[in-house]
Amino acid sequence: MKLWTKLTLSTSLIIIVVLFGYGYFKITSNRDMLIGKMKLDIMSTARTMKVSLERIPLLREKEYFQNLIDALDLPLGILTNTRK
């Protein structure tokens, strides 16, 4: 191989590695930020639903709504399998 071919290939390889590293760290940082936002949204939705369900005055279906309220006490159970 000629010198210029080796130089071009090595420069291209360096650029590929740098861009791959930048993309990887950008994706992981965005993922952590989005998981944090999702947890916050889930907690606020669960609190809103819990307050709404506690105010329902239907006595004949009290057990049904109590089960719904109990289910909202642990809204983040679906997120326990996320990787770190």
Question: pLDDT tens-digit profile of 3-42?
Answer: 888 899 999 999 999 999 999 999 988 988 898 899 889 8
Of residues 31 and 76, more confidence is placed in 31
Return the amino acid letter for 64: Y
* DSSP character string of 50-62: HHHHHT---STTH
CA distance 36 to 7: 44
Tokens in use for 55? Answer: 């105010």
**Quick check: 76 and 43 in contact, CB under 8 A?**
yes
Return the amino acid letter for 66: Q
